[in-house]
């Protein structure tokens, strides 16, 4: 699946988008996999209360299942307007 990062999450991880092969069942499982990879992921995902997730471009929850999902995006709370 495609995993996208925006704003400071993108800056902390150091890339806007990557393809990830995963069998993670939920967003939380995917985050656990990413955090185990490298320090920069650990730093980006350290405080989940500061993060939001979208699955296929719809705001979702961290316990949402990933089955059938093609695009996951992580970002901080939005500041439009």
Partner 1 sequence: MRVIVQESPFDYGIEAEAFADGRHDMGAIVTFAGIVRDIAGGLDVMEIEHYPGMTEKALEKIAAEAVERWSLGDALVIHRYGRMGAGEKIMMVATAARHRKDAFEAAEYLMDYLKSRAPFWKKEHTQSDAGWVAAKDEDEAALKRW
Residues that bind partner 1 (CB under 8 A): 4, 6-8, 10, 54, 57-59, 73, 75-81
Tell me if 36 sits within 8 A of 12, measured CB to CB: no
Q: How far is CA 63 from the centre of its chain?
A: 12
For residue 65, give the nearest of 73, 74, 50, 55 by alpha carbon.
Answer: 55
Minimum distance of partner 1 from residue 50's CB (angstroms): 9
> Is 11 or 32 the residue whose CB approaches partner 1 more closely?
11
> Is 25 or 59 the residue whose CB approaches partner 1 more closely?
59
66 phi and psi angles, rounded to 5 deg: -100, 0
> Is 4 or 24 the residue whose CB approaches partner 1 more closely?
4
């Amino acid at each position: 699946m495609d995993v996208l990062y925006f704003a400071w999450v993108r800056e902390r991880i150091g890339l806007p988008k990557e393809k990830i092969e995963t069998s993670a069942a939920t967003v939380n499982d995917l985050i656990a996999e990413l955090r185990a990879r490298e320090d920069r992921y650990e730093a980006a995902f350290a405080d989940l209360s500061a993060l939001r997730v979208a699955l296929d471009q719809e705001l979702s929850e961290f316990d949402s299942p990933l089955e059938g999902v093609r695009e996951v995006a992580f970002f901080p709370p939005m500041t439009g307007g």
